[in-house]
Chains A and B, each alone.
Chain A
Amino acid sequence: MAFVSNPPSASATRPRRVALFVTCLVDLFRPSVGFAAAKLLEEAGCAVEVPPLQVCCGQPAYNTGDRATTRAIAAQVIDAFEGYDAVVAPSGSCGGMLSHHYPSLFDDDPAMKARAESLAGRSHELMSFLVDVLGVEKVAARYDGAVTYHDSCSGLRELGVKGQPRELLAAVQGLTLREMKSPEVCCGFGGTFCVKYPEISNAMVAEKTADIAATGADTLLAGDLGCLMNMAGKLQRDGSAVRVRHVAEVLAGMGDLPAIGEPERG
Chain B
Amino acid sequence: MESTAHAFKENVGHALADPNLQDSLAKLKVGFSERRRQAAERLPEFEALRDRARDIKNHTLAHLDFYLEEFERKVIALGGHVHWAPTAADARHIIAELCRSVGARTVAKSKSMVAEEIALNDYLEAMGIAPIETDLGEYIIQLRHEPPSHIIAPAVHLTKDQVADTFLEHHGKLGFSKRLTERNDLVAEARYVLRQKFLDADVGLTGANFLVAETGSSMLVTNEGNADLSNTLPRMHIVLASIEKVIPTLEDAAVLLRVLARSATGQESSAYTTLNTGPKRPGDLDGPEQYHVVLLDNGRSSVLGTEMQDILRCIRCGACMNHCPVYGAVGGHAYGWVYPGPMGAVLTPQLVGVEEASNLPNASTFCGRCESVCPVRIPLPKLMRHWREREFEKHLTPRAWRQGMALWGFLARRPALYRGLTAVANRMLALFGRAEGRYRALPLAGGWTRFRDFPAPQPGGTFHAQWAKKRRA
Using a CB–CB cutoff of 8 Å, the interface residues on chain A facing chain B are: 22, 24, 26-32, 34-35, 50, 52-56, 58, 60-67, 69, 72-73, 76, 153-154, 157-158, 184-186, 188-205, 207, 229-230, 232-234, 236-237, 257-258, 260-264
Contacts and interface: CB of A to CB of B under 8 A. Distances in A.
A58 B385 contact: no
Given A65-B388, A153-B367, A233 B463 contact: no
B175 interface: no
B436 interface: yes
B52 interface: no
B438 A261 contact: yes
Given A30-B458, A61-B412, A186-B325, 6 more contacts: A26-B463, A28-B426, A69-B405, A193-B364, A203-B16, A233-B448
B408 A200 contact: no
Contacts of B456: 261
A60 B366 contact: no
B300 interface: no
A50 B365 contact: no
A237 B453 contact: yes
B392 A66 contact: yes
Contacts of B330: 200, 203
A27 B462 contact: yes
Contacts of A158: 368
Which residue among B9, B405, B467 has the maximum number of chain A CB atoms within 10 Å of its CB?
B467
B192 interface: no
A26 B422 CA distance: 12
Interface of B: 9, 12-13, 16, 325-326, 329-330, 362-369, 371-372, 385, 387-393, 397, 401, 405-406, 408-409, 411-413, 415, 418, 422, 425-426, 434-438, 440, 445, 447-448, 450-464, 466-468
Given A63-B388, A190-B367, A203-B16, A31 B451 contact: no
Contact of A66 (B367, B405, B447, B467): B405
A27 B329 CA distance: 32
Contacts of B438: 233, 236, 261-262
A41 to B, nearest CB: 13
A62 B463 CA distance: 24
Contacts of B468: 52
Contacts of A28: 422, 425-426, 457, 462
A209 to B, nearest CB: 10
Contacts of A153: 365-369
A154 B371 CA distance: 12
A263 B434 CA distance: 6
B451 A52 contact: no
A256 B389 CA distance: 44
A207 B326 CA distance: 12
B413 A73 contact: yes
Contacts of A264: 434, 437, 459
A31 B426 CA distance: 11
Nearest to A204: B325
Contacts of A202: 450-452
Contact of B405 (A60, A193, A229, A232): A60
Nearest to A53: B415
Q: Which 4 A-B pairs have the closest CB atoms?
A: A190-B365, A233-B452, A65-B388, A195-B447
Contacts of A34: 463, 467
12 contacts: A27-B463, A30-B458, A65-B397, A69-B409, A188-B365, A193-B366, A201-B365, A203-B330, A204-B365, A229-B454, A236-B438, A258-B458
